[in-house]
Structure 1
Amino acid sequence: MNATTAPPPPLPNPFTPMAFLPPDLAYQYTISTYVYVGTLGVTISMDLRLSLNYLVVVRYPVRLPGLVYLFSRMAALACILSAVIYLTAPVGIPCRLFSKVVDWLFAVAVPSTSLLFLFRVLAIFDRNKFVCAFFSIMWLCVVAGAITPTQGLIGANIGPTKYCIYVKVEEYVGAAAIIPLVNDTLVFLAISWKLMRNAHTSAHPLRGNLSLRALLRGDYLPAFSRGLLQDGQAYYLTTVITKLMTVIIFYFTLVPAVYRAMFAVPNAVVMNMMACRVYRRTKLARYRELKTPSSNLSSAMPNDRAVIPLAFPPNRNNANLKQLGEVDGKRRPIEEIKIVKTVEHDGAPFNEEKGHLNGDASVAV
């Protein structure tokens, strides 16, 4: 006797996009959607802190780095928002076209974030044309790497629905994470080395343990330089973890294809949040001197030579300087100063009339 089988029950919603995917792929797709939505929530919560962005824009004149800062924040938000829409909502345009919109927003967000650190390198190595040219070329490489997803990722509709999914990922797309990782590593090492050299003088070179402490902890550095170093460390240690995870998972063939490409956009968003945090702290000078650099350095040095931060007024003509410095024959403090050098001396008094130290003086650069 032939056994009869009952027909499968009808699907409550046969046009849900998950009904057109294999069960394992549908599960992977759902997990990646959760990751993107969570990243969008973090991004929005950070952007709601409008007071910090307001201070960056209003307190100081808006120049090119400030414009790049605002542009990179908007590009990162637009990138993650479009990616979430791509994965979660039905769209009225072909998914193959909409995927290119997401990919090009990614190609804008990553280079604009790296540009903030290029400005940082150019400011620190402003007199070294070779270093400035090298890191400018590295930034162009970041741009080239960020463009690869626009050619190597292919989107398509899920069945007859208007929901989207990536159906093809080329191997060379990994350059979008590898090149920024290499660039960030070189930037971090270059800035750390330069800041350590600022605490190194020919009379008292930092060797051994002192050199290591200056490189890792910022000891013997002024508060601002120490803040630059420690912010760079926080940025690098955070982003290197996300970038390495992105690269390793992408080239690990045993991982499903959906998971391999899942961390690219969240990695770009984390990179942008940390870079903008470093820029804000530098712009607003949110660094605190816990212990004076001269006391730190003098306690570690064998004699009484000290490192003194020199403050000079902005460049003005002699008449303006006299007008600022004297009123009715009485001296008054100059309101606006710029710290430009750190000078080491042998305890010789400073000659106010000549504007230099009596005796030998060496500039720590």
Structure 2
Amino acid sequence: MNTTDPLVTVTGLRTTFDTPKGLVRAVDGVDLTVGRGERVGIVGESGSGKSVLVRTLMNLFRDDPYTTVDGQVVFDGENVREMSRERRRHFWGRDIAMVFQNPMTSLNPVKRVGDQITDPMRFHLGLGRKAARAAAIELLVQLGIPAPQRRIDQYPHELSGGMRQRMAIAVALSCAPKLLLADEPTTALDVTVQKQILNLLDRLVAERGMSVVLISHDLGVVAGRTDRIAVMYAGEVVETGRPHELFRQYRHPYTRGLLNSAPRLHGAKHARLDVIGGLPPDLTALPPGCRFAARCPQVQPRCLDERPVLREAGPNGHRSACHFPVGTPSGEQALAHNRDSGIAAVVEEVAS
């Protein structure tokens, strides 16, 4: 893994959608790097901006008249947002590829899966029909698909959910991209197949030396499978760091909430799961201060007025955006104060 010369550098990225309800600030000021051969996990609740972020990295919104993108995305020294239409045709698939969370919508239902795998090989790599088919069958063997000579001629609806997801991975890996974006690739699968797919991605990424961005709403999915994790909330990165530091010495209350809401194997039977109270803010009317303030158990008046920025929170690049970080004297005092006085009273006092 080489992080001194990153493959991707994102600076001040903002993606805004113009809707009848108003401007939706789906991604709002994100800075991110992905090193060569590095595995980066992006976690957060649904609607936190994870999928929009990676689609912006791919420059998919370039020709959308209702979407505005600001900031800079540099991929292997090249400004993604300034790519021509012709360059983008070879950028997608050859340099960067995505595994979507629902293969039934990402795979073409009226084309055989073999054609969907070989078409990128023929277009980007210049392979002939026979050579592309042979390469596709070999890829399916690596993916652990039984009877690949028969499966390659089937349609998506003829395959199981796990098999379809493997085919979607095969399409993404067909041209050996430098960066693989996996957008919740195991959401619709049972836990056994989830593990198989994630183990498969780990092995292929290691063998091919690719960089990978793994998106999930579950911190447990990215644990042990990434070199660095970025936690997103309401369009922002609120905490980032290596898994060991993030899991053991988290500093943002939202990260703590995500960890506490995960079920535990050794917990009491039928125990009620912890939840993060409230709802994420409306992305068309974001608050001026911390966007997590209305749901935070240690919110203080400052949180509702002043927007926190990412700052150093520990070793190895661990950073957090919180005025009263978890585990620090100021954070513990804020939490104790709210336990005594009631969090609702604090929020109501400042809001008024």
Return the TM-score normalized by structure 2: 0.21
Return the TM-score normalized by structure 1: 0.20
Larger-gyration structure (1/2): 1
| Greater RCO (CA < 8 Å, at least 6 residues apart) | 2
